[in-house]
Amino acid sequence: MNRAEAETLVKQLNGWTLSGDRQWISKEFSFKDFAAAMAFANKVAEIAEEEGHHPDLQVRWGKVVVELTTHAVRGLSENDFILAAKLDKVES
């Protein structure tokens, strides 16, 4: 995926950012406490398993950072943006 394609797709998402070299997209989700952050991370894990597309997660007190990339293509694919859109629906 080229830079222009990635920039177009990331603009359709809510709060996701594109890495400078367009190899991944990321978003930090905020929660009231650690338990809520873990509950979200577990929901992300369920969706990722269903999709067969697994993000990198960083869980902290009240925060979860999600990073999406497609290792097979060493960069972004349409699947990254599809999963990001699904995760945005979990947040609301």
Q: Where are the domains of the chain?
A: 3-91
pLDDT of amino acid 81:
96
pTM: 0.91
Model confidence at 92: pLDDT above 60: no
Backbone dihedral angles phi then psi of residue 27, each to the nearest 5 degrees: -155, 140
Amino acid in the structure at residue 30: S
Q: What is the DSSP string of 2-34?
A: -HHHHHHHHTTSSS-EE-TTSS-EEEEEE-SSH
> By C-alpha distance, which of 25, 31, 1 is closest to 13?
25
What CATH homologous superfamily does 3-91 map to? Transcriptional coactivator/pterin dehydratase (3.30.1360.20)
Length of the chain: 92
Compute how many other C-beta atoms are within 10 angstroms of the C-beta atom of residue 52: 8
Q: What pLDDT digit, counting tens, does each position of 12-67 carry? A: 999 999 987 879 999 999 999 999 999 999 999 999 999 999 999 999 999 999 99
Average pLDDT over residues 78-87: 95
